[in-house]
Structure 1
Amino acid sequence: MPAKQRKIALMGFRSVGKSSLTIQFVENQFVDSYDPTIENTFQKTVKIDGQEFVLQLVDTAGQDEYSILPQSYYMNIDGYILVYSVNSQKSFEVVQFVYDKLLDMKGNIGSIPVVLVGNKCDLGFEREVPVEAGKKMAEKWKVPFLEASAKENQSASKVFEQIVNTIERASGNVPEKNGCILS
């Protein structure tokens, strides 16, 4: 069976760890220094449930509530990983704004493969966004939710596995799993 190509965009407020999650997944390393991303593309081949996937990961520049999303952020993208930082209420608000923008561009709830990720869960002592708030938002959007830590390599690969499974379900290739809310 030939490998399936999937293009995935990571979106969210600046410095929430989009690049760190991506590099942790692709290169198995944590990058501590923060250089604002303009836009980077990474590629990784993975095997999920016996199927090979070539993932093209678009690590976008940080968005805010005033961002105009370039057409490239919604053309030919198979799925979205929306990332906020658990220690930033502002990033949680921005991810809601980004989701609304995607809906405006792509269509109604349920038609866009999305995974909501609360990153930096290793910073529990600085937490501003409770786990329950992330779960509640994901339930409202009807999307999977995970918390992750790029720094501690906690759930980084699960995030990308989850978006691939979500894309496949949306395209009718995988049966719906019970309880898609993960934590």
Structure 2
Amino acid sequence: MPPKQRKIALMGYRSVGKSSLSIQFVEGQFVDSYDPTIENTFSKIVRVRGEEYEVGLVDTAGQDEYSIFPTQYSLDIHGYVLVYSINSVKSFEIVQIIYDKLLDMTGKVNVPIVLVGNKTDLHMERVISAEEGRRLADSWKAAFLETSAKQNEAVGDIFTTVLNEIERANGNVQEKSACVIS
């Protein structure tokens, strides 16, 4: 059986580590200096819950509050990873703007999204608490993770989580039901 094709877009303010997360996930290495991305697509086959997925990662150029949300990011994209840096208030504000634009563009209320607070290795410079990140994700009904591309912490989890969110949105995941048959 061919793997399921899933396209995932990484979005966020510049320098939050979108490319570092993509490269860490796909190639297993940390790239510190990376050209501000025009846009790059990576591909990797992953196995989640016994199913194979061919994941296409669209590593977008950094967005700011003025970027127009490109239409191509609302077409053929199955799920989104919205990344901010735990040491940047600006990047945290920008993900919220991106999220609003995303909902406007897709016209959907529930879009499979994982909110990622990256750069946990810079904990001395942290300005956004995990609690704030979680609260924001909860308000979106999105999944939330904190990661470090540099230390390869929870990087794979981002993509496993987004694939699970996509399947759930497609109705392919049986929620644990609370039914008890006595």
- Report the secondary structure of 2:56's partner residue: strand
Residues 69-107 of structure 1: CA distance to partner in whole angstroms, max 9, x if unpaired?
A: 111111110000000000000000000000000010112
Distance in 2 (CA, whole Å) between partners of 1:162 and 1:150 is 16
Amino acid at match of 1:160: F
Shift of the alpha carbon at 1:109?
A: 2.8
Contact 2:14 2:62 in 1 (8 A): yes
Amino acid at match of 2:120: C
Q: Which residue does the alignment assign to 1:116? A: 115
Alignment of 1:1-183 (within 5 A): 1-110=1-110, 112-176=111-175
Distance in 1 (CA, whole Å) between partners of 2:13 and 2:109 is 21
Residues 16-52 of structure 1: CA distance to partner in whole angstroms, max 9, x if unpaired?
A: 0000000000000000113100000000000110000
CA RMSD, Structure 1 to Structure 2 (Å): 1.1
Contact 2:46 2:54 in 1 (8 A): yes
- Report the secondary structure of 2:135's partner residue: helix
Amino acid at match of 1:65: E
Q: Which residue does the alignment assign to 2:180? A: none
TM-score with structure 2 length normalisation? 0.95
Contact 2:16 2:118 in 1 (8 A): yes
Distance in 2 (CA, whole Å) between partners of 1:83 and 1:176 is 27
Shift in alpha-carbon separation, 1:83–1:175, aligned structure 2, 3 A: same
Q: Runs in 1 of length 4+ with deviation above 4 angstroms?
A: none
Shift of the alpha carbon at 1:157?
A: 0.3
Amino acid at match of 1:154: E
Amino acid at match of 1:70: P
Contact 2:71 2:105 in 1 (8 A): no
Distance in 2 (CA, whole Å) between partners of 1:34 and 1:40 is 12
Amino acid at match of 2:153: Q
Report how many residues are paired: 177
| Unaligned residue ranges in structure 2 (runs of 5+) | 178-182
Amino acid at match of 2:47: K
Distance in 2 (CA, whole Å) between partners of 1:119 and 1:169 is 24
With 100-109 and 169-178 compared, the bigger mean Cα shift is at 169-178
